[in-house]
Amino acid sequence: MEEAIRRAWWKEAVVYQIYPRSFQDTNGDGVGDLPGVIRRLDYVKELGADVIWLNPIYRSPNDDNGYDISDYRAIMEEFGTMADFDVLLREAHARGIRIVMDLVVNHTSDEHPWFVESRKSKDNPYRDYYIWREGKNGAEPNNWGGSFSGSAWQLDEVTGMYYLHLFSKKQPDLNWENPKVRREVYDLMRFWLDKGIDGFRMDVINFISKTADFPDGETNGGLYGDFGPFCINGPRIHEFLHEMNREALAPYDVMTVGEMPGATPEQAALYTGFDREELNMIFQFEHVGLDGGEYGKWSLNRVPLRALKETLSKWQTELDGRGWNSLYWNNHDQPRVVSRFGDDSTPLFREKSAKMLGTLLHMLQGTPYIYQGEELGMTNVAFPSIDDYRDIETLNAYREFTERRGVAPDEMLAYIHKNSRDNARTPMQWDDSPNAGFTTGTPWIAVNPAYREINAKAALADPNSVFYYYKKLIALRREYPIIVYGHYRLLLPDDDRVYAYERSLNGEKLLVVCSFSREAIPFPLPVPEGAELLLGNYEGESGDLRPFEARVYRYRE
Ligand code: NOJ
DSSP letter string, 315-327: HHHHHTTTS-BEE
Q: Which residues neighbour 222 within 8 Å (Cβ) at sequence distance 6 or greater? A: 145
Tell which atom from ligand 1 comes closest to the C-alpha of 393. 7
CA distances (Å), origin 250, targets 11, 246, 258, 276, 453: 17, 5, 16, 12, 47
Handedness of CA 523, 527, 533, 535 (dihedral sign): negative
Task: Indicate the top mutation candidate among 22, 64, 102 to test ligand 1's pocket, ranked by most ligand atoms within 8 A of CB.
Answer: 64
Between the alpha carbon of residue 186 and those of residues 105, 181, 250, the distances in Å are 10, 9, 11
Which residue in 479, 352, 393 sits closest to 167, CA to CA? 393
| CA-closest candidate to residue 476, choices 9, 14, 4, 5 | 14
Beta-sheet pairing, 199-202 with 255-259: parallel
The phi, psi pair for 483, rounded to 5°, reads -65, -35
The Å distance, Cα 264 to ligand 1 centre, comes to 19
Fill in the amino acid letter for 147.
S
pLDDT at 4: 87
Question: Which residue's alpha carbon is nearest to atom 11 within ligand 1?
Answer: 67
CA distance 217 to 196: 43
Tell me, using a 6 A CB cutoff, whether residue 64 lines ligand 1: yes
371 lines ligand 1 (CB under 6 A): no
What does the alpha-carbon distance between residue 201 and residue 13 come to, in Å, rounded to a whole number? 14
Specify the DSSP class assigned to residue 81: -
Question: What is the whole-number distance in angstroms between the Cα of residue 461 and the centre of ligand 1?
Answer: 35
Indicate the residue type of 460: L
State the distance from the centre of ligand 1 to the C-alpha of 68, rounded, in angstroms: 9
Among the listed residues 78, 84, 110, 259, the single catalytic one is 259
Give the Cα-Cα-Cα angle 41, 47, 50 (nearest 5 degrees).
65
What pLDDT tens digit does each residue of the chain (557 aa) get? Answer: 788 899 999 999 999 999 999 999 999 999 999 999 999 999 999 999 999 999 999 999 999 999 999 999 999 999 999 999 999 999 999 999 999 999 999 999 999 999 999 999 999 999 999 999 999 999 999 999 999 999 999 999 999 999 999 999 999 999 999 999 999 999 999 999 999 999 999 999 999 999 999 999 999 989 999 999 999 999 999 999 999 999 999 999 999 999 999 999 999 999 999 999 999 999 999 999 999 999 999 999 999 999 999 999 999 999 999 999 999 999 999 999 999 999 999 999 999 999 999 999 999 999 999 999 999 999 999 999 999 999 999 999 999 999 999 999 999 999 999 999 999 999 999 999 999 999 999 999 999 999 999 999 999 999 999 999 999 999 999 999 999 999 999 999 999 999 999 999 999 999 999 999 999 999 999 999 999 999 999 998 889 999 999 999 999 98
Ligand 1 atom index nearest CA of 331: 3
Catalytic residue chosen out of the listed positions 84, 203, 333, 375? 203
**Strand-pair category, 544-545 with 521-522:** antiparallel
Tell how far the Cα of 371 is from the centroid of ligand 1, in angstroms.
15
Q: Cα–Cα distances in Å, from 172 out to 107, 122, 138?
A: 5, 16, 21
Which ligand 1 atom sits nearest the alpha carbon of residue 64?
7
Residue nearest to atom 6 of ligand 1 (CA): 67
Residue 173 in contact with ligand 1 by CB distance below 6 A: no
> How many H helices and E strands in the chain?
18, 20
Tell me the one-letter amino acid at 527.
Answer: V
CA of 236 to the centre of ligand 1 (A): 22
Going from the Cα of 153 to the center of ligand 1, the distance in angstroms, rounded, reads: 18
Q: Ligand 1 pocket check: which of 17, 55, 65, 104 to mutate, most ligand atoms within 8 Å of Cβ?
A: 104
Residue 67 CB–ligand 1 contact under 6 Å:
yes
Closest CA to 58 of 22, 38, 82, 29: 82
204 lines ligand 1 (CB under 6 A): yes
> What length does the chain have?
557
Kindly list the distances between the CA atom of residue 296 and the CA atoms of 260, 264, 289, 312, 529, in Å, as whole numbers in the listed order. 17, 19, 9, 20, 47
What is d(CA 179, CA 129) in angstroms, rounded to the nearest whole number? 9
What is the sign of the dihedral through the CA atoms of 438, 442, 448 and 451? positive
Residue 495: what pLDDT?
98
Query: Whole-model pTM above 0.85?
Result: yes
Q: Say if CB 271 and CB 282 are below 8 A apart.
A: yes
* Distance of CA 148 from the midpoint of ligand 1 (Å): 10
Among 70, 208, 288, 333, the mutation site with the greatest number of ligand 1 atoms within 8 A of its Cβ is 333
Distance between Cα 67 and ligand 1 center (Å): 6
- Decide whether any atom of ligand 1 lies within 6 Å of the 333 Cβ: yes
- Alpha-carbon distance 280 to 264, whole Å? 16
Ligand 1 centroid distance, CA of 262 (Å): 14
pLDDT for residue 1: 75
Beta-carbon count within 10 A of 422 CB: 25
Q: Please give the distance, rounded to the nearest whole angstrom, from the Cα atom of residue 260 to the centre of ligand 1.
A: 11
Cα(472)–Cα(47) distance, integer angstroms: 9
Q: Whose CA is nearest to atom 5 of ligand 1?
A: 333
Beta bridge partners of 487: 504
Rounded CA separation 153/323 (Å)? 36
Rounded to the nearest 10 degrees, the angle between the axes of helix 237-244 and helix 265-272 is: 30
pLDDT for position 531? 97
- The answer, yes or no, to whether any atom of ligand 1 lies below 6 A from the CB of 68, is no
Nearest-CA neighbor of 401 among 413, 390, 389?
Answer: 413
> Does any ligand 1 atom lie closer than 6 A to the CB of residue 167?
yes
Which of 54, 63, 67, 422 to mutate to test ligand 1, by most ligand atoms within 8 A of the CB atom? 67
Name the residue of 204, 232, 390, 425 whose CB sits within 8 Å of the most ligand 1 atoms, as the mutation to test its pocket: 204
| pLDDT computed for residue 2 by the predictor | 85
User: Shortest CA distance to 330 belongs to which of 420, 429, 256, 268?
Assistant: 420
**Is 203 designated active site?**
yes
CA distance 344 to 258: 31
Q: Is 84 a catalytic residue?
A: no
| Ligand 1 near 84 CB (within 6 A) | no
- Predicted confidence at residue 540, as pLDDT, reads 85
